[in-house]
A and B are shown apart, each in its own frame.
Chain A
Amino acid sequence: MPATNTIDGHTFAINEEGFFTQRDDWNEELAGILAELIGVEMTDAHWKALRFMRDDQATTGVTPTLRRMQTVGGFDVKELYRLFPGKPAKKMSYLAGLPKPIGCV
């Protein structure tokens, strides 16, 4: 069901799993707040990954997969796991205000 979430005065549309449905609802301040909520402490390396994802999605229309982060973005997957422990693909797309990557049908 379409729904919205409001945190610290930021309102954004989400899907049933909580992922953003409107990329323009996103801004870096909001990302910082969400990161705190899921226990990620943002550093330059974190921002670099999120910014790559936003730029890439803006041109391709789809959230990049981890493989694409590696082959196109030049990121080290292991490092991404360190930065966003557990489920990096999900955490990163959530914090970047993008849909969960598909590639999986």
Chain B
Amino acid sequence: MTRLVILGAGTAGTMLANAVAKHHPTWSMTVVDADDQHVYQPGLLFLPFRGRPDRLVRSRKAQLNPRVDYVNSPITAIHPDQKRVDLGVGIIIDYELLVIATGSHPRPDLVEGLTDERIWRRRAHEFYSLEGAIALQRTLRTFSEGKLLVHIAEMPIKCPVAPLEFALLAEDHYRKRRLRHKVDITFATPLDGAFTRPVAKQTLGDLLVDRSIRVTTDVAVERIDPASQRLVAYDGRELPFDLLVTIPPHTGARVLEGTGLVDDVGFVRVDPHTLRSVVDPSVFAVGDATNVPTSKAGSVAHFQVEHLLENLAAVAEGREPTARFDGHANCFVESGRGQALLLDFSYDVEPLPGTYPLPGVGPMSLLKPTRLNHLGKLAFEPIYWNMLLPGRPLPVPTTLTLTGKRPVTGKD
């Protein structure tokens, strides 16, 4: 009987646990998470503008198949050499196979001056955590004039399009309130353009320009000066703000530090196709916790789970893992004005214009803002709770198909 332990019951851990419960009911499986609050993270993008926070939170345990053995406790140490995980209060669990699904975490403490009490959660915000999004909602209610600086500290971050979407939604927010002329919006990024992939970078960059959002590229933040409310970059540039909305640097879960399993920012080093640790054959990782070179997104976790399930079964039966994840990611990019774009890409295939999932028919349009894509983004919430997490079949392929996409030939 295979003894599997899954660390983390967020998007990836929950999907995997439910899939294992369904396909391998004889395995013994334990899932651990620190609390019982499963947050629908894509909702954090909208929360600063509207909505009640409690609507984004559900019980973690309730999302898990009742057959799953769920332990509600912080993980305090991992000992791969002894195939053992320590939970606080002296509980120890052993495993044969370990899956790390502990996610990616914003770390405001890594930017000097950011969490200074004069500005933190008042003039300097983030919206990647529930409490951060709630605090920003409070600030946006009264912020009606001045310089809004939307900023990404460092890559990689989860959902790399969310900061851009935030800038576009903020533009909408102030335009609707007829305050747009009083609020100056700047988007500052460490990248050399609006996004990481060439075609999407162009399209998204144009969108920002169209909405009169200033884009400042190659910004490597050295520190935030709380007294003068400036972001100071290593190259000497200084960006003043009245309201800073930053995406802090991300790291893997702190408990992974020193285990030998992770890279220098704490993401589990895995084979990008099999998701198996490159140093320990009993360890796999899934979701935001891995170091694979694709976006950290719920959709990616969904595409990974299917392959991981197959690979865990292979290893449990003493075979080599052969299912290969191709880096497939797709994300709806909310572009304001009730529209959204859809990006679809993988390790080797860039985001291209076209339609999705059915070539020539859609209904979704790739890389083009449409109303239907926006509705698609909103529809994602019930899909998340009712289809993705419980593992009900979705009519979306888990490896990227090139049908329906048009190669880029100069003008669209």
> Which residue numbers of A lie inside 8 Å of B, CB to CB?
66-68, 71-72, 77-78, 81, 85-89, 102-105
B154 touches A67 (CB 8 A): yes
B295 touches A105 (CB 8 A): yes
Given A81-B234, A86-B235, A104-B191, A68 and B220 contact (CB-CB distance below 8 Å): no
Q: Is B293 interfacial (CB-CB < 8 Å)? A: yes
Given A67-B265, A102-B293, A105-B294, A77 and B222 contact (CB-CB distance below 8 Å): yes
Nearest A residue to B347, CB-CB: A105
A105 touches B155 (CB 8 A): yes
Name the B residues within 8 Å of A77 (CB-CB): 220, 222, 234
Name the B residues within 8 Å of A78 (CB-CB): 222, 234
A20 and B65 alpha carbons, distance in the complex (Å): 50
Q: Is B212 interfacial (CB-CB < 8 Å)? A: no
Q: Is B412 interfacial (CB-CB < 8 Å)? A: no
Given A77-B222, A105-B293, A85 and B235 contact (CB-CB distance below 8 Å): yes
Return B298 CB to nearest CB of chain A, in Å. 15
Name the A residues within 8 Å of B81 (CB-CB): none
**Number of interchain pairs (Cβ within 8 Å):** 40
A78 and B234 alpha carbons, distance in the complex (Å): 6
With most chain A CB atoms within 10 A of its CB, the pick from B156, B191, B218, B234 is: B234
Name the A residues within 8 Å of B293 (CB-CB): 102, 105
**A103 contacts which of B155, B222, B294 (Cβ < 8 Å)?**
B155
Nearest A residue to B235, CB-CB: A81
Name the A residues within 8 Å of B249 (CB-CB): 67
Nearest A residue to B190, CB-CB: A104
Name the B residues within 8 Å of A88 (CB-CB): 234
Name the A residues within 8 Å of B160 (CB-CB): 104-105
Known interface pairs A72-B264, A77-B234, A103-B156; 4 further A-B residue pairs with C-beta atoms within 8 A, sorted by A's residue number: A68-B264, A71-B264, A104-B160, A104-B190
A67 and B34 alpha carbons, distance in the complex (Å): 29
1/0 per residue B216-238: CB within 8 Å of A?
00101010000000000011100
Return B106 CB to nearest CB of chain A, in Å. 15
Q: Is B322 interfacial (CB-CB < 8 Å)? A: no
A47 and B154 alpha carbons, distance in the complex (Å): 26
Nearest A residue to B155, CB-CB: A104
Nearest A residue to B236, CB-CB: A81
Return B165 CB to nearest CB of chain A, in Å. 17
With most chain B CB atoms within 10 A of its CB, the pick from A67, A68, A77, A103 is: A103
Given A103-B155, A104-B196, A105-B294, A87 and B191 contact (CB-CB distance below 8 Å): no
A105 and B196 alpha carbons, distance in the complex (Å): 5
Q: List 27 A-B contacts (CB under 8 A).
A: A66-B220, A67-B154, A67-B264, A67-B265, A68-B264, A71-B264, A72-B264, A77-B222, A77-B234, A78-B222, A78-B234, A81-B220, A81-B234, A81-B236, A86-B235, A87-B218, A88-B234, A102-B293, A103-B155, A103-B156, A104-B155, A104-B191, A105-B155, A105-B156, A105-B197, A105-B293, A105-B294
